[in-house]
């Protein structure tokens, strides 16, 4: 061989292998970007395999292959058939398949997981394969509903560990031929003290069994902890150096929610972990989902592990002691020339075979829009892939001729079923248009559109970490920017759930089948382009040398008005404002000379209005601007348009619709918690029992109004509150301007507690105004509950949770019995509210009280910091 050619090939090979000659010394996190949460890993010889959660997406549980722990290649999916991946009916963002574990034993790979919420799902299961790329077996359904299961092969046994909902970890051994437990699962350990124990993994390392798990919930408090025992059945000792990893005390770190980890040992006996985390942008928002990170593990002299650098996962880390093995990069363009879809593509839930094809038209992906849209918990004609970088461009060439207003096809950036950005070709008033529709919180938030000729069109979405831009280009024309959208509006912080953004191709008839298929010629996806895409707008079509106006914003500050602001057109004298109604645009007003704002009044609350602007001078008119839309605020009145009933429970966040100083008063104009509602009241997610939302950042003098129908005039008012410090808070309740109750709120030490205001008298009537006044703030407010009081003053409430109180009536002995007793305090009150008995108790299945009381009616209450139950009790 020619020596020059030989050296050239050697150099090329080294370059391909990651500059081995020059020495790759570091790598950057995350190692697998985009939505890849709950990573689990196993090693087989010199190969490493990793699986992550997919929730409602199909096929489920991607499996990645690596030889160096840094570079990963998608080689298949564990759940690739509807029969082993039932998803129809699964809730977006929370249902489906999550928290898997992959393990290997004696030539067989095992993946155990939980399928939740899909039709036919049965909870926990495991599947097997001899080749990790598949095929994988049908599910072996394990006979329990424990989430986040994990396996350990040791001592010629298969150990199965999972958490329950009571802070416990349970262990059993499994017969893999039947999927059944050899014996009833046994509690072996508890969590180490934080909330939301999940994702346990059990390891046998040396003389110990290590139980590692996640705590704190998948948010800023997330962390990984560990404990150990000399027996898999316990007892377990908690590590004195916990947590293994966490960023909960490092709020400025760009990586957050670090946790849910799995360990792997390398041939050189070093240890590493993979874990999930997310990257915040634009404040405390993440929209790419939870991603997979890698960090080294060190063990102290006492045998306790610590991940990363003192528990912190760094962005840049020294590579493992393995030969670098990079994989070839994926092609930017998918030309749909294969008989099967690329592994990067996913469907929403289980696809319907009739909705898509790679063979109907050679070299095209055809999507036949069915009656299914994103609104159903079903599978619309959608083929998408993870958005795996903040800076990226996705585009497609589409051929689609809609025949009715309901038919649409194009590109979609999807957060979940009720939050997505749609760049679609559709029909409007008999015209073919390309439309940008922002669908947020289950309604159209805004839309803009442009009439287009028949023929193919290129649709493109470009993204930065803060903003999406949406473009359309027809043959022979410059690309046109239809609009922009904020990435944070698809973030987990604003839409909830556990998934990240997907970008894909979509078609739907929204209730009926499209008459024509949508043909996608190709799809390009490029991350971090070296030369950012900057579409030249070219010269827009003009009339009389006037450019079309460009609308800057459309906003609504009240239920009955909308305000438009646009850029000035150089030689315009004034502007004509048009609003879309009855399939056409009608002029609703003109501006004064030079004015570039317009406010329309007399509108209807909670209604979408669509506008466009035309510039005018003495010669003629410009072409209309792109359309823009705005929702008016809801009309003043009761939340959900129905008064709350008393007796009954009222969530604090469901105060009346209306403006500040009308339905609410807050010291600041913005919602600090940025959840649930868009006015100035501070609302955040609530970690109290039952979840939901709560009011926070309550300050002196703030208040809220609730429209109520008072059906019961004598009630006990329960309020659920939390204080972080001893603030001396005070709250008052007024009904139609009259004070009916008030109370001080003592320090609750950062836990939720229920205060009860007994025998509150109310005036009966419909559409009455209940005003809650926070005289002294400094607390959080979850809900208020009005409990009817009988004429004798006794709660008319029966006990739940299978609790028995007997005998009743009694003379001197009261037995309280339950197999699941969760209360730690017992009290008895007279009907006048005087406490006559109080006792702290343990969580024992039976309590016997020896007490003598005068004949009469009493109230027995059982309580803990989260709950309270009461029952009538008679002494005779």
Give the mean pLDDT of 342-370: 96
Q: Is the pLDDT of residue 178 over 80?
A: no
Centre a 10 Å sphere on the Cβ of residue 758 and count the other Cβ atoms it contains. Answer: 18
For residue 871, the Cα-to-chain-centroid distance in whole angstroms is: 39
DSSP 787-847: EEB-TTS-B-----TT-EEESSSBSSEEEEE-TT----EEEEEETTS-EEEEEE--S-SEE
Nearest to 79 by CA among 99, 50, 54: 54
Give the mean pLDDT of 415-444: 94
User: Could you give the strand order of the β-sheet that contains 271-279, starting from the edge strand earlier in sequence?
Assistant: 255-265, 271-279, 291-299, 305-307
Q: How confident is the model at residue 874 (pLDDT cuts 50, 70, 90)?
A: confident
Nearest to 686 by CA among 699, 672, 696: 696
Core vs surface per residue 354-389: b (16+ CB within 10 A) or e: ebbebeeeeebbbbbbbebbbeebbbbbbbbbbbbb
Q: Is the pLDDT of residue 531 over 90?
A: no
Q: Is the pLDDT of residue 13 over 80?
A: no
Q: Is the pLDDT of residue 121 over 80?
A: no
Q: Of the ranges 262-266, 383-387, 512-516, 632-636, which one carries the lowest mean pLDDT score?
A: 632-636
Percent of the chain with pLDDT over 90: 62
Per-residue model confidence (pLDDT) at position 61: 98
Give the mean pLDDT of 48-68: 97
Q: Which residues have C-beta within 8 Å of that of residue 716, sequence separation ≥ 6?
A: 756, 757, 758, 759, 760, 786, 787, 789, 795
> How big is the CA angle at 868 (ends 677 and 783), to the nearest 5 degrees?
15
Q: Report pTM.
A: 0.72
| Element (DSSP H or E) covering residue 648 | strand 648-651
Q: How confident is the model at residue 4 (pLDDT cuts 50, 70, 90)?
A: very low
Nearest to 385 by CA among 419, 423, 344, 356: 344
Q: Of the ranges 515-519, 533-537, 568-572, which one carries the lowest mean pLDDT score?
A: 533-537
Per-residue model confidence (pLDDT) at position 477: 79
Nearest to 273 by CA among 283, 281, 286, 264: 264
Residues 570 and 549: beta-carbon distance below 8 Å? no
Residues 822 and 843: beta-carbon distance below 8 Å? yes
pLDDT digits (tens, 9 = 90+) for 180-204: 778 789 999 999 988 788 999 999 9
| Element (DSSP H or E) covering residue 494 | helix 492-495
Distance, in Å, from the CA atom of 653 to the CA atom of 693, rounded to the nearest integer, reads 7
Tokens of 757: 């205001």
pLDDT digits (tens, 9 = 90+) for 710-763: 999 999 999 999 987 766 899 999 999 999 999 998 888 778 889 899 889 999
Distance, in Å, from the CA atom of 276 to the CA atom of 290, rounded to the nearest integer, reads 6
Q: Is the pLDDT of residue 542 over 60?
A: no
DSSP 353-377: GGGEESTTTTT-EEE---S--TTSS
Per-residue model confidence (pLDDT) at position 300: 96
Residue 448 CA neighbour count, 13 Å, CB half? 22
SS3 label, residue 156: coil
The number of residues making up the chain comes to 876
Q: Is the pLDDT of residue 241 over 90?
A: yes
Strands 628-631 and 584-590, bridge-based pairing? unpaired
Per-residue model confidence (pLDDT) at position 398: 97
CA distances from 494 to 38, 440, 447, 491, 586 (A): 21, 10, 20, 6, 36
Beta-bridge partners for 608: 631
DSSP symbol at 31: S
Nearest to 688 by CA among 476, 509, 477, 866: 866
Residues 126 and 112: beta-carbon distance below 8 Å? yes
pLDDT digits (tens, 9 = 90+) for 574-620: 999 999 887 788 899 999 888 999 999 999 988 889 999 999 888 88
Give the mean pLDDT of 210-215: 97
pLDDT digits (tens, 9 = 90+) for 451-470: 999 999 999 999 999 999 99
Tokens of 759: 């025998």
Q: Is the pLDDT of residue 10 over 70?
A: no
Give the mean pLDDT of 546-559: 85
List residues with catalytic annotation.
38, 198
Q: How confident is the model at residue 802 (pLDDT cuts 50, 70, 90)?
A: low
Give 3-state DSSP helix, strand, coil % of the chain, rounded to 5.
Answer: 5, 50, 50
Residues 169 and 189: beta-carbon distance below 8 Å? yes
Per-residue model confidence (pLDDT) at position 793: 40
Distance, in Å, from the CA atom of 329 to the CA atom of 555, rounded to the nearest integer, reads 44
Q: How confident is the model at residue 19 (pLDDT cuts 50, 70, 90)?
A: very low
Nearest to 269 by CA among 322, 203, 207: 322
Q: Is the pLDDT of residue 653 over 50?
A: yes
Per-residue model confidence (pLDDT) at position 47: 97
Q: Is the pLDDT of residue 866 over 70?
A: no
Name the average pLDDT for the chain.
Answer: 88
Q: How confident is the model at residue 143 (pLDDT cuts 50, 70, 90)?
A: low
pLDDT digits (tens, 9 = 90+) for 471-497: 999 887 778 889 999 999 999 999 999
Distance, in Å, from the CA atom of 66 to the CA atom of 325, rounded to the nearest integer, reads 8
Distance, in Å, from the CA atom of 116 to the CA atom of 94, rounded to the nearest integer, reads 8
Q: Is the pLDDT of residue 1 over 70?
A: no
Handedness of CA 831, 837, 838, 844 (dihedral sign): negative
Q: How confident is the model at residue 411 (pLDDT cuts 50, 70, 90)?
A: very high
pLDDT digits (tens, 9 = 90+) for 311-342: 999 999 999 999 999 999 999 999 999 999 99
Percent of the chain with pLDDT over 70: 91
Distance, in Å, from the CA atom of 875 to the CA atom of 854, rounded to the nearest integer, reads 7
Per-residue model confidence (pLDDT) at position 840: 74
> Burial, 785: exposed, middle or buried (Cβ in 10 Å; 0-12, 13-18, 19+)?
middle
pLDDT digits (tens, 9 = 90+) for 66-98: 999 999 999 999 999 999 999 998 889 889 999
């Amino acid at each position: 061989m020619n020596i020059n050619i030989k050296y050239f090939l050697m150099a090329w090979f080294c370059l391909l292998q990651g500059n081995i000659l020059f020495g790759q010394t570091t790598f950057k996190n995350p190692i697998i970007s985009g939505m890849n949460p709950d990573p689990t890993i196993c090693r087989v010889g010199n190969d490493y395999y990793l699986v992550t959660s997919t929730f409602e997406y199909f096929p489920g549980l991607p499996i990645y292959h690596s030889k160096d722990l840094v570079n990963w290649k998608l080689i298949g999916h564990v759940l690739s058939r509807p029969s082993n991946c039932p998803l129809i009916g699964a809730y977006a963002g929370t249902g489906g398949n999550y928290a898997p574990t992959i393990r290997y034993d004696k030539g067989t790979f095992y993946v155990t997981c939980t399928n939740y919420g899909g039709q036919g799902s049965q909870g926990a299961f495991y599947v097997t394969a001899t080749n990790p790329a598949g095929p994988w077996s049908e599910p072996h359904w394990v006979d329990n509903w424990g989430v986040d299961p994990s396996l350990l092969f040791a001592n010629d046994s298969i150990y199965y560990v999972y958490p329950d909902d009571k802070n416990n970890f349970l262990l059993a051994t499994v017969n893999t031929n039947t999927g059944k437990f050899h014996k009833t699962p046994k509690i072996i350990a508890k969590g180490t003290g934080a909330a939301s124990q999940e994702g346990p993994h059990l390891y046998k390392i040396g003389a110990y069994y290590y139980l590692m798990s996640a705590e704190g919930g998948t948010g800023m408090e997330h962390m990984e902890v560990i404990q150990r025992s000399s027996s898999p059945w316990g007892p377990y000792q908690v590590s004195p150096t916990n947590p293994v990893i966490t960023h909960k005390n490092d709020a400025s770190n760009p990586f957050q929610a670090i946790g849910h980890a799995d360990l792997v040992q390398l041939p050189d006996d070093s240890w590493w972990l993979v874990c999930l985390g997310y990257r915040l942008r634009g404040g405390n928002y993440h929209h790419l989902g939870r991603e997979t990170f890698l960090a080294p593990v060190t063990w102290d002299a006492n045998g306790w592990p610590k991940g990363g650098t003192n528990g912190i996962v760094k962005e840049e880390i020294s590579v493992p002691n393995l030969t670098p093995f990079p994989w070839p990069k994926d092609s930017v363009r998918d030309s749909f020339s294969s008989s099967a879809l690329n592994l990067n593509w996913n469907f929403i839930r289980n696809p319907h075979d009739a909705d898509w094809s790679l063979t109907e038209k050679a070299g095209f992906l055809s999507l036949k829009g069915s009656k299914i849209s994103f609104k159903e918990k079903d599978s619309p004609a959608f083929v998408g892939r993870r958005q795996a970088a903040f800076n990226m461009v996705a585009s497609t060439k589409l051929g689609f001729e809609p025949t009715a207003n309901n038919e649409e096809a194009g590109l979609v950036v999807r957060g979940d079923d009720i939050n997505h950005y749609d760049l679609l070709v559709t029909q409007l008033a008999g015209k073919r248009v390309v439309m940008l529709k922002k669908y947020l919180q289950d309604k159209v938030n805004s839309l803009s559109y442009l009439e287009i000729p028949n023929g193919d069109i290129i649709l493109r979405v470009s993204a930065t970490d803060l903003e999406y831009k949406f473009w359309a280009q027809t043959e022979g024309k410059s690309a046109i920017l239809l609009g922009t959208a904020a990435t944070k509006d698809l973030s987990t912080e604003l839409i909830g759930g556990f998934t990240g953004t997907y970008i894909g191709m979509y078609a739907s008839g929204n209730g009926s089948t499209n008459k024509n298929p949508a043909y996608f010629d190709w799809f390009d996806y490029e991350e971090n382009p070296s030369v950012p895409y900057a579409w030249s707008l070219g010269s827009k079509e003009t009339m009389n040398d006037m450019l079309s106006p460009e609308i800057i914003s459309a906003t609504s500050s009240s239920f009955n008005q909308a305000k438009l602001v646009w850029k000035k057109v150089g030689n315009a004298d004034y502007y004509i404002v048009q609003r879309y109604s009855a399939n056409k645009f009608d002029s609703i007003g003109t501006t004064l000379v030079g004015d570039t704002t317009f406010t329309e009044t007399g509108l209807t609350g909670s209604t979408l209005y669509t506008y466009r602007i035309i510039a005018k001078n003495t010669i003629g008119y410009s072409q209309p601007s792109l359309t823009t839309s705005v929702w008016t605020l809801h009309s003043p009145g009761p939340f959900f348009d129905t008064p709350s009933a008393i007796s009954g429970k009222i969530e604090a966040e469901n105060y009346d619709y209306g403006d500040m100083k009308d339905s609410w008063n807050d010291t600041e104009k913005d919602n600090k918690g940025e959840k649930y509602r868009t006015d100035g009241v501070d609302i955040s997610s609530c970690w109290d029992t039952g979840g939901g939302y709560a009011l926070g950042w309550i300050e002196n003098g703030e208040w809220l109004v609730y429209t109520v129908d008072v059906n019961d005039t004598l009630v006990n008012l329960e309020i659920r509150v939390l204080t972080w410090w001893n603030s001396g808070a005070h709250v008052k309740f007024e009904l139609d301007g009259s004070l009916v109750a008030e109370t001080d709120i003592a320090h609750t030490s950062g836990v939720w507690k229920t205060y009860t205001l007994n025998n509150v008298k109310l005036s009966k009537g419909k559409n009455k105004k209940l005003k809650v006044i926070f005289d002294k703030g400094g607390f959080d407010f979850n809900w208020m509950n009005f409990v009817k009081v009988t004429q004798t003053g006794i709660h008319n409430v029966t006990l739940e949770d299978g609790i028995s109180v007997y005998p009743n009536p009694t003379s001197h002995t009261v037995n309280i019995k339950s197999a699941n007793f969760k209360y730690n305090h017992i009290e008895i009150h007279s009907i006048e509210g005087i406490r006559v008995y109080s006792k702290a108790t343990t969580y024992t299945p039976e309590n016997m009280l020896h007490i003598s009381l005068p004949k009469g009616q009493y109230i027995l209450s059982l309580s803990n910091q989260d709950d309270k139950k009461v029952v009538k009790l008679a002494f005779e």
